[in-house]
Structure 1
């Protein structure tokens, strides 16, 4: 069945106003033209859509059922048109970015500042989740792009690497005498370890590396943020596994010390992720360009 969209638009206006005359006025049409349109639609669908009442018309049960779906569809079309117009020249619109807490604090902020200064009318929505949760949000369309800890094993997601990072173990002053010399992984796991929670990509990456060496790590403490890993190590509650590039202040100021492993954990990356099946919006494209321009300098 092929029915012109214009017929449904007129149908929705009559349903909203419960009146042929008011709908005609809103549509800049004559009342007879509106009535004829509804009659045509009823003939093509084979059902009566409206019942006449003293003050106008009301939807029949069939009309109510149709209106629920048609009105939603037309609203979606309007939203799509509006979004396209608003974002075309980056004069307005919204950019939804998913990012982990650590990356948000230690990596993303200057790029957000740069983007906002260039495109102040683009509304930024930042959603903090774990890498696995961000992948799900990408695939459900709830975010436009995600800045994640890599690697990500998902064939539906496109990844652009932005920055190399290194997982290291750090300790406080009380451990200095025992950890000042290079050591093996086997020696390290004999100390009380502090790691991120098991669902984090960073934790899983380190655990998988240890398992590849035949070592299973069982942390004394599990925490939800990189900042807490640094603080707990600083007060000597154990040896924390952190990202070196995001721990510079603590290491540079002598608040923490890096464990020198004989075999270092291989470097990995932070990357910007998007769905392969969906083209980036203009605002997403521009933000990714800002990220990549900085990377290439």
Structure 2
């Protein structure tokens, strides 16, 4: 059975063409089918919509009034369908990403650049925060995906590891020449330590590992920035716990020096999180694919 919307579409084409036969060709229908559709609509509205003449059809006054509204409505539907198609083809849209400053700078930027070059009309909204903060705003729907420090123990999230990272301790010139190496954790715990703030997931990971050795740490400095960790270590304010992969500039230039440990801290991951219960938008799906494909190409 033909739907009411289809009836109105037939009505518009007949009104625009002024002919049942021309409308039939435009709609790929038979002329009797078009005529039946118009008669059905007129019956349902209990109103004559067209004047029939041997030369064609013309709208009645009631038909003219209806046409103004129906034509506008169908146009809006067409625009809506076009917008949906644009979203699917990523010619418009917005991608909301939750990420910390350090991961944004040292991991995310190349992927943002690659995605923007491919889909320049997609707007980015970047929300900064710690891993715990990002998990909260991800659940609230403020962001589509979050790029966080793993591990994250929450069954509500789909978690895709992207990059393995190594936590290390670094020092400046003063400590480089005075510390015996390699160091045991018992020796390390007695030194002036520089850590990220307690809310940091990476800080908690290292702290929990050292605690598993029966040692509790009491940092001399607790900072909110990975770059500050490196700067404090560089000017000899203590021994900083940093992410090796994000400290290569300092290490390669000799601004700080890695302290060798008797036992390495196990590697952890940085990865993408999103809610299992909420389907990803097309933009978010393509962005995740961009990261995964580049990682595979880089052999990560």
TM-score, normalised to structure 1, is: 0.72
1:99 is aligned to 2:99: yes
Report deviation, 1:179: 2.5
What's the offset of the Cα at 1:178? 2.4
Task: Please name the residue that 2:109 is paired with.
Answer: 109
> Which residue in the other structure is 1:292 paired with?
292
Residues 183 and 261 in structure 1, CA contact (< 8 A), matched pair in contact too: yes
Task: Write the distance in 2 (CA, Å) between the matches of 1:222 and 1:130.
Answer: 14
**What SS does structure 2 have at the residue aligned with 1:153?**
coil
3-state SS, counterpart of residue 108 of structure 1? helix
Q: Post-superposition shift, 1:194?
A: 0.4
**Structure 2 residue 197 is the aligned partner of structure 1 residue 197:** yes
Q: Over aligned residues, Cα RMSD in angstroms? A: 1.8
Supply the distance in 2 between the matched residues of 1:273 and 1:26 (Cα, whole angstroms). 50
Aligned to 1:7: none
- The separation in 2 between residues aligned to 1:279 and 1:124, in whole angstroms, is 19
CA distance in 2, matches of 1:82, 1:238: 59
Runs of 4+ in 1 over 6 A off after TM superposition: 24-27, 80-83
Sort the Cα spacing of 1:270 and 1:81 in 2 relative to 1 into closer, same or farther, 3 A.
farther
| 1:82 shift after superposition | 8.8
Q: Which string of whole-angstrom CA distances, capped at 9 and with x for unpartnered residues, describes residues 92-124 of structure 1?
A: 000000001100011111110000000000001
Q: Taking structure 2 as the reference length, what is the TM-score of the superposition?
A: 0.72
Q: Deviations over 1:176-213 (max 9, x none)?
A: 12225101000011110000000010111011101111
In 1: Cα distance, 2:191 partner to 2:67 partner: 75
| Secondary structure class of the residue paired with 2:115 | helix
Max Rg structure: 2
| Cα offset, 1:86, TM superposition | 4.0
In the alignment, structure 1 segments of 5+ residues that lack a partner are 1-23, 30-79
Unaligned runs of 5+ in 2: 1-64, 71-79
Match of 1:254 in 2: 254
Q: 1:291 to 1:198 in 2, by over 3 A?
A: same
- TM-aligned CA distance change 1:184 to 1:95, over 3 Å: same
Q: Partners in 1 of 2:230 and 2:279 — Cα distance?
A: 39
Give, in angstroms, the shift of residue 83 of structure 1. 7.1
- How many equivalent residue pairs? 224
Distance 1:251 1:209 in 2: 24
**CA displacement, residues 44-93 of structure 1 (integer Å, 9 cap, x when unaligned):** xxxxxxxxxxxxxxxxxxxxxxxxxxxxxxxxxxxx98974442110000
